Amino acid sequence: MTSADLPLPAALLDLLARARRVVAFSGAGMSAESGVPTFRDAQTGLWARYSPEELATPEAFAADPKLVQDWYAWRMELTARARPNAGHVALAELATRVEVVVVTQNVDGLHAAAGSTDIIELHGRLRWVRTGDRTPVEAPMLGDDGLRRCPESGRLVRPDVVWFGEPLPQGALERAFREARACDLLLAIGTSGLVHPAASVPVAALEAGRSVIEINPDRTPLSDHVTGRLAGQSAQILPGLCAQIGTSCL
Ligand code: OAD
């Protein structure tokens, strides 16, 4: 994709070429082409009758730990089969040419798998940890009661992700806002922009006078406020877009 293929104003194309410090703010749409369903997609099969908001809470885990553990086991299996797509790879390659901080709401680990290194995981990472503390549990023990427990302590395990009503990892959100306010360009990729405080990160960039480009086939609450918008799938758009970033000094 050449710059001529990017439906962006000339001034913004020029900004892309001059950008040296980029924040890639990603949501579930970033991983859609890796086969990981987004939150706004209807859940499939057994999970069709539940919404994430009903399952991703401390209350749901307390009420029915097996249901919540089974849901996350299903999601872990989905993401274990997923591979980074061309969008993840394009961001990792871009970081070899300019400074890129990935601020992701995703818990699938696909940015790291693609080779990105400076990643802020606002909502944690899909892996089992002990209830209460954050000790990773590689291989939980499945008891006769169908509950997954830590093999050493016997305590129930939960995923190391942020649930609704829980605080984000210490310092992650503060750094994400700092990077958004200091960057040359923020790419808002595959996010509905509905879940705060994470969804406020691109807004912070706009309020600081930074340029924000949204990459999403659908419109979102951000769409009317961003500097530029590329309607489409991130795995199709990002390789051509990233190729235009940081090229001015080549
Ligand atoms: P959503 O599922 O809310 O939104 C995904 C967005 O990606 C939508 O706007 C889609 O239109 C768009 N999309 C779909 N396919 C795409 C593609 N191929 N390329 C680009 N965009 C595409 O996911 P998030 O915005 O990430 O929170 O949701 C934010 C948070 O809500 C999640 O982190 C999770 C959820 O509850 C927690 O788990 C705390």
Phi-psi region of 154 (alpha: psi -120 to 50; beta: other; left: phi over 0): left
Tokens of 99: 């400074």
pLDDT score for 69: 97
CB 52, CB 39: distance < 8 Å: yes
Question: What is the Rg, in whole angstroms, of the alpha carbon atoms belonging to the chain?
Answer: 19
pLDDT tens readout for residues 123-171: 999 999 999 888 899 999 999 999 999 999 999 999 999 999 999 988 9
Task: Write down the residue that tokens 């990472």 correspond to.
Answer: 125
CA angle 101, 201, 206 (to 5 degrees): 100
Confirm or reject: Cβ of 201 under 6 Å from ligand 1. no
Q: Is the peptide bond before 197 cis (omega within 30 degrees of 0)?
A: yes
Summarised one tens digit per residue, pLDDT across range 204-216 is 999 999 999 999 9
E strands, 115-184, are: 119-121, 124-130, 141-142, 148-149, 157-161
- Ligand 1 pocket residue status of 33, Cβ below 6 Å: yes
- Give the residue, out of 44, 105, 237, with the most ligand 1 atoms within 8 A of its beta carbon, to mutate for a pocket test: 105
Beta bridge partners of 124: 161
The mean pLDDT of 82-97, rounded to a whole number, is 98
* Active site (annotated) includes residue 88: no
